[in-house]
Amino acid sequence: MNRQIIELVSWRLASAVVTLLIVSFTIFLATMMLPGDVAQILLGQAATPEAVAGLRKAMHLDEPAIFQFLKWLGGLASGDLGRSYANNMPIAALIGGRLANSLKLAAATTAIAVPLALTLGITSAINRNSLYDRIISGLTIAVISVPEFLLATLAVLVFAVYLRWLPALSLANETKTFADLLRVYALPVITLTFGVSAQMIRMTRAAVIETLNTPYVEMAMLKGASRRRKVLWHALPNALGPIVNAIALSLSYLLGGVIIVETIFSYPGIAKLMVDAVSTRDLPLIQSCAMIFCVGYLVLVTIADIIAIVSNPRLRT
């Protein structure tokens, strides 16, 4: 560790914070521009204009947008996410359990998808242009091109309807034994693994192939290094940067991009919560969910960048 690397990492962290501020502003602006007036929707068609105006004042909706933004941002900073418009519950309470569920699903998928993708990516890079490589490449392209809802529906059709091995719905609260847990998570995890692995496999394969073509790997071979040694000791450490970034991008999708999977399997996660919030114009809830997705994304990408910086000996020493 030296000064240069500390400088680089702190620069990276600072830029993450600035990005977050810009994102929060964008989210606020976007939700403000959603059509429809919250007070009007909450009170229904029959409300008198006076009642609507009264509610608007009570909810501070009549203040300039910039004040509303600063107030909201201040609340976020102090951990107060505000209250839901729809049912007047604290948003933190609404989100809490849902976020935990989403994180559980993401963790289970990560635990399976990352080792699987790395193994397949590295092995197909080693056996480049072999039958094995062609099959893996063909399959990953096929999986990338099939939309997720089709994958999920097919999975339900095969495993739940025909084979009757697994439940079609993933009601996370009904798990008592470990076997139950496996059954509940199996279908969504399988669907998500298909979705996120394809990109990771392709990036890993490309990054490893690129480093395998370098003179230092040829040199290693001329020293008598085995194939395993060439890949694991020589190629992989130099391919780490791009691979970690591909993993981070794929995993960030698991936090915000799982709307379809959560909906199809009725899984009580945060993505589904946000979809529901949009249909009820629950602005504070939408904003909080969007912020959580962005924070998750930024954290992952920043970690990936820091790993890439630290794993480069030109910067480390």
Partner 1 sequence: MANIVEVRNLKVEAVTDAGRVVTIIDDVSFDIADGEIVALIGESGSGKTTIALTLMGYARPGCRISGGSVKLGAHDMAGLGESECARVRGIEVAYIPQSAAAAFNPAHTIMDQVIEVVRIHRLMPLRDARAKAIELFKALALPHPETIGERYPHQVSGGQLQRLAAAMALIGDPKLIIFDEPTTALDVTTQIEVLRAFKSVMQGKKIAGVYVSHDLAVVAQMADRIIVLKGGTIQEAGATEQIIKRPGHPYTQALINAVEPALFAGVNAKEEAAKPPLMEVSNLYAGYGGFLDKGLPRLLAVKHVDLRVPAGHNLGIIGESGCGKSTLARAIAGLLPAVTGNILLEGKALAPYARHRSREQLRQIQIVFQSADTALNPSKSVSEILERPLLFYHGMTRRDRAKRVGELLDMVKLPRGLGNRRPSELSGGQKQRVNFARALAADPKLILCDEITSALDTVVAAAVIDLLKELQRELGLSYIFISHDLSTVRAICNDVAVMYAGEKVEQTSPDKIGQAGGHPYSRLLFDSVPKLDQGWLDSLKQDEALIEAYAVR
Please give the residue ranges that form the binding site for partner 1 (CB under 8 A).
Answer: 214-226, 229, 233-234, 237-238, 311-314, 317
- The nearer residue to partner 1, 240 or 304, going by C-beta atoms, is 240
CB of 227 to partner 1, least distance (A): 8
- The nearer residue to partner 1, 145 or 317, going by C-beta atoms, is 317
β partners of residue 90 = 83
CB of 65 to partner 1, least distance (A): 40
Name the H helices within the chain. Answer: 3-32, 38-43, 49-58, 65-77, 91-126, 131-145, 148-155, 178-212, 215-222, 227-229, 236-256, 259-264, 270-279, 283-310, 313-316
CB of 304 to partner 1, least distance (A): 17
- The nearer residue to partner 1, 176 or 223, going by C-beta atoms, is 223
- The nearer residue to partner 1, 202 or 230, going by C-beta atoms, is 230
CB of 130 to partner 1, least distance (A): 14
Distance between CA atoms of 263 and 268, rounded to whole angstroms?
8
Residue 145 phi/psi, 5-degree rounding, is -80, -20
CB of 1 to partner 1, least distance (A): 15
Q: What is the DSSP string of 210-259?
A: HHHTSHHHHHHHHTT--HHHIIIIIIHHHHHHHHHHHHHHHHHHHHHS-H
Residue 261's nearest CA partner among 246, 245, 275, 247 is: 275
Residue 299's nearest CA partner among 233, 258, 254 is: 254
Distance between CA atoms of 114 and 188, rounded to whole angstroms?
16
- The nearer residue to partner 1, 153 or 312, going by C-beta atoms, is 312
Give yes or no for a contact between 143 and 137, defined as CB atoms under 8 angstroms apart.
Answer: no
CB of 250 to partner 1, least distance (A): 24
- The nearer residue to partner 1, 62 or 218, going by C-beta atoms, is 218
